[in-house]
Amino acid sequence: MSASTPGVRLDTPELRRRSTAPELRRFVYITRSLAVMEFKLRYFGSFLGYLWTLFRPLLLFGVLYLVFTRIIRLGDDVPHYPVVLLIGIVLWAFFADATNSSLPSLVARESLLRKLSFPRLAIPVAATATPAANLVLGFGVVLVLAVVNGVSVSATWLYVVPIMLGTIVFAIGLGLLLSVLFVRFRDLQPIWEIALQLVFWASPIIYTIDFVPEQYRQYVLWNPFAAAVQETRHQVVGAGSPSVADVMGSLYEVLIPVGIAAAVCVLGFLTFRRLSGRVAEDL
């Protein structure tokens, strides 16, 4: 036998037990190369290439900014409204893009799933990679805009990093659930589109939490995505935008959206693990 044999024993009672280290490495290789491939497919061959990713949320930002400062005048009394608005849009663009790409990812990679055994997790995770890269880039733009808009540079900006990571993990967890359910229920795509619309209007994206009647505010922030937007705003623009703990009333209640997000992730992971073994047969 060749020297590269990983440490596998045949006489284990398990069906197929491989040592985890090579499997984990393989998972990383696959996720990385699939993510790079998807990135290249998306942006190669188009003239402006990667710039389109920035252009779309920026255009949406421009339109909403004009509407809500010149026509509806909703943003007039909001401190640093452009920054607050862009934070909402950048996070929204990530959330919608990530879930919309991971939802059909397993079905789209049908041929791969039917021909090879590999950690299935790699597929939805890789589908989230490009949106996540766009999120990081979008935040660069947010920070530039914040400086231009007169927000003073602050150490609290660093808190954005764990919030962003949390949002990405939440989107992956949700994506796992959606992708594996979509294999069985092909209605899920239109349903999810509607659900996304609801999330958009139920989250402080174009408006701020102050517009929500006081008695409903904390419930709005039960939604993990809304809480992420609110907390990011607070950390970037400071006192002008209340933190999640301020709105909820206490620090403990912050655990509600965090707990819901964690529950979704665990549910997504468990469902995925349960159903993905047979995905090749269901497709």
Partner 1 sequence: MEPVVRCEGLWKTFRIPVDRALTFKQRVLAPRHHRATRELNAVRDVSFEVRSGEFFGVIGANGSGKSTLLMCLAGIYLPDRGRVAVAGRISPFIELGVGFNGELPALDNVVVNGALLGLSPAEARRRFPAIVEFAELEDFVDLKLKNYSSGMLVRLGFSAAIQAEADVYLCDEVLAVGDVRFQQKCFDTFRRFKREGRTVVFVSHDLASVERFCDRALLLEHGEAVALGEPSDVVQEYRGHAFLEAPPETDSTGSPIRWGDRSAEIVEASLHDDAGNDVTVVEQGDWVTLRVLVQFHRRHENPIFGAIVKTEQAHHAFVTNTMFDACRTGTFEPTDHGVYSVRFQALLAEGPYTVSPAVAYEDANRFADWREDFLSLRVNGRLTSGGIVDLPHESTVESVVHETTVA
Positions in the binding site for partner 1 (CB under 8 A): 1-2, 4-6, 8-10, 12, 15-16, 22, 25-26, 29-30, 32-34, 36-37, 40-41, 44-45, 111-118, 184-187, 191, 277-278, 280-281
Q: Considering beta carbons, is residue 214 or 281 the nearer one to partner 1?
A: 281
Nearest-CA neighbor of 94 among 175, 207, 8?
175
The C-alpha atoms of residue 143 and residue 149 are separated, in whole angstroms, by: 10
Q: Considering beta carbons, is residue 25 or 70 the nearer one to partner 1?
A: 25
Q: Which two tokens stand for residue 119?
A: 């950690």
Give the nearest distance from C-beta 275 to partner 1 in angstroms: 12
Q: Considering beta carbons, is residue 111 or 152 the nearer one to partner 1?
A: 111
Give the nearest distance from C-beta 55 to partner 1 in angstroms: 22
- Within 10 Å of residue 1's Cβ, how many Cβ atoms? 4
Four-point Cα dihedral 119, 120, 125, 127, nearest 10: 130
Give the nearest distance from C-beta 32 to partner 1 in angstroms: 7
The C-alpha atoms of residue 42 and residue 54 are separated, in whole angstroms, by: 14
Give the nearest distance from C-beta 140 to partner 1 in angstroms: 26
Exposure pattern of 114-141 as b/e (b: 16+ CB <10 Å)? Answer: eeeeeebbbbbbbbbbbbbebbeebbee
DSSP designation for 272: H
Q: Considering beta carbons, is residue 67 or 283 the nearer one to partner 1?
A: 283
Give the nearest distance from C-beta 15 to partner 1 in angstroms: 6
Q: Considering beta carbons, is residue 26 or 56 the nearer one to partner 1?
A: 26
Give the nearest distance from C-beta 6 to partner 1 in angstroms: 7
Q: Considering beta carbons, is residue 1 or 71 the nearer one to partner 1?
A: 1
Q: Which two tokens stand for residue 261?
A: 């997000």
Length of the chain: 283
Burial of 252 (0-12, 13-18, 19+ CB in 10 A): exposed
